[in-house]
C-alpha cells in the first residue's frame, strides 16, 4: 500500500506536524510501506527519506501571518497538468491524507469525486484534524463571515459537501 500525505503546516524547523510526519516516515520505512509527503517549499525539490519515503517540496507563496510557513493554494491544484496533479498521477497512492483546514481540504473532495482532469483514479481520502485550536478558529471565522454575508451560499454548500466526504481522525498512533 502506498500513502500520500499533504500538509501546509511544514517548514524545516516546524514542530508538531513535522515531527508527526517524520515519525510516520520512519515507521513506514521500518515496515517497508511506501509513503509520500507533499509540503510547500521555497522551491520545487524531491527529498528521499530512507528506502520507502519521499518528500515533494512544491514551490509555494509565504503564508499570510507567518512567513516561515508557505501555503499551497487551490490555484496550484485546480488546473490540469499542474505539479500536484502530476505527483498524484505518477505516485497513484491508495490513500491520500490531507492535514489542512484552509486550502488543501478542497483537494480531498475533488479527488473523491474524480473532478481533477489530470488524475484518473479515485483513492481513499482521509482528513487529519491536527489542532483543536485550528478547528475552533476556522469555525469561528467561517461563522463570522457567514453572518456578515461575505461567504456566498454556494461556497458554504461546497464546504459542507467536501467536509462530509472526508474522514476526520484524532489518532496519530500508527497501527500494526
Would residue 152 count as lying in a domain? no
Would residue 116 count as lying in a domain? yes
Buried b (16+ CB within 10 A) or exposed e, 81-118: ebbbbebbeebebeebbbbbbebbbbbbbbbbeeebee
Select the more confidently predicted residue: 101 or 154: 101
Strands 167-169 and 53-59 come out as unpaired
Question: Could you give the number of structural domains in the chain?
Answer: 1
Would residue 143 count as lying in a domain? no
Would residue 135 count as lying in a domain? no
Q: What is the pTM of this model?
A: 0.73
Dump pLDDT digits (tens) for 119-140: 999 999 988 766 555 555 555 6
Query: Distance between CA 25 and CA 43 in Å, rounded?
Result: 22
Split at pLDDT 50, 70, 90, the class of 70 is very high
Would residue 52 count as lying in a domain? yes
Would residue 148 count as lying in a domain? no
Would residue 155 count as lying in a domain? no
Dump pLDDT digits (tens) for 2-53: 999 999 988 877 778 888 899 999 999 999 999 999 999 999 999 999 999 9
Residue-level pLDDT at 64: 85
Average pLDDT over residues 87-106: 92
In which domain, by residue range, is 68 found? 2-130+165-169
- Mean pLDDT (the chain) is 79
- Is the pLDDT reported for residue 145 higher than 80? no
Split at pLDDT 50, 70, 90, the class of 154 is very low
DSSP letters spanning the chain? -EEEEEESS--TT--HHHHHHHHHHHHHHHHT-EEEEEEEESS-EEEEETTTEEEEEEE-EEPSS-TTSEE--GGGTSSTT-HHHHHHHHH--SEEEEE-SSSSHHHHHHHHTT--TT-----EEEEE---HHHHHHHHHHHHHHHHTT-S-HHHHHHHHHHHHSSEEE---SPP-
Would residue 122 count as lying in a domain? yes
Residue-level pLDDT at 159: 40
CATH number assigned to the domain comprising residue 73: 3.40.50.2000
Amino acid at each position: 500500500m502506498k500513502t500520500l500525505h499533504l500538509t501546509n503546516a511544514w517548514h524545516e524547523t516546524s514542530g508538531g506536524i513535522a515531527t508527526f510526519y517524520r515519525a510516520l516516515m520512519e515507521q513506514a520505512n521500518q515496515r517497508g510501506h511506501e509513503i509520500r509527503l507533499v509540503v510547500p517549499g521555497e522551491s520545487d525539490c524531491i527529498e528521499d527519506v530512507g528506502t520507502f519515503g519521499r518528500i515533494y517540496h512544491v514551490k509555494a507563496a509565504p503564508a499570510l501571518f507567518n512567513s516561515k510557513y508557505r501555503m499551497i493554494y487551490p490555484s496550484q491544484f485546480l488546473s490540469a497538468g499542474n505539479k500536484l496533479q502530476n505527483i498524484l498521477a505518477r505516485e497513484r497512492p491508495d490513500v491520500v491524507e490531507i492535514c489542512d483546514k484552509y486550502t488543501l481540504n478542497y483537494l480531498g473532495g475533488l479527488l473523491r469525486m474524480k473532478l481533477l482532469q489530470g488524475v484518473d483514479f479515485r483513492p481513499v481520502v482521509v482528513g487529519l484534524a491536527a489542532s483543536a485550536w485550528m478547528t475552533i478558529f476556522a469555525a469561528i471565522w467561517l461563522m463570522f463571515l457567514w453572518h456578515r454575508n461575505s461567504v456566498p451560499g454556494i461556497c458554504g454548500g461546497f464546504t459542507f459537501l467536501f467536509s462530509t466526504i472526508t474522514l476526520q481522525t484524532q489518532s496519530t498512533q500508527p497501527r500494526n
